[in-house]
Amino acid sequence: MKYENAKDILPAALLEEVQKYAEGKVIYIPSSKESKGWGEASGYREKLKKRNALICSRYSAGRSVMEIAEEFFLSPETVKKLVYGKKVELPMFSPSVTSAEQYASAGMGEEWVRTFLESFGESMPETEDFFMTGPVRIPLRLIDAEGDEASPEESGFDVPLIVIYDEGKFSVPYQAGYLAALRKEKRNAHYAFVFARNDEYGFFWNNYGKNFQR
Number of domains in the chain: 1
Q: Which regions in the chain score pLDDT beneath 70? A: 1-3, 25, 28-44, 86-91, 146-155, 213-214
22 domain residue, yes or no? no
75 domain residue, yes or no? no
* Number of other residues whose CB lies within 10 A of the CB of residue 210: 8
Model pLDDT, residue 198: 86
Model pLDDT, residue 38: 38
10 domain residue, yes or no? no
Which pTM does this prediction carry? 0.61
- Calpha distance 66→64 (Å, rounded): 5
- Calpha distance 58→56 (Å, rounded): 5
Express each pLDDT in 84-100 by its tens digit.
875 555 667 888 999 99
Nearest to 110 by CA among 97, 129, 124: 124
Between the alpha carbon of residue 175 and those of residues 8, 11, 147, the distances in Å are 73, 73, 12
- Calpha distance 60→29 (Å, rounded): 49
Which domain does 132 fall in, by range? 120-211
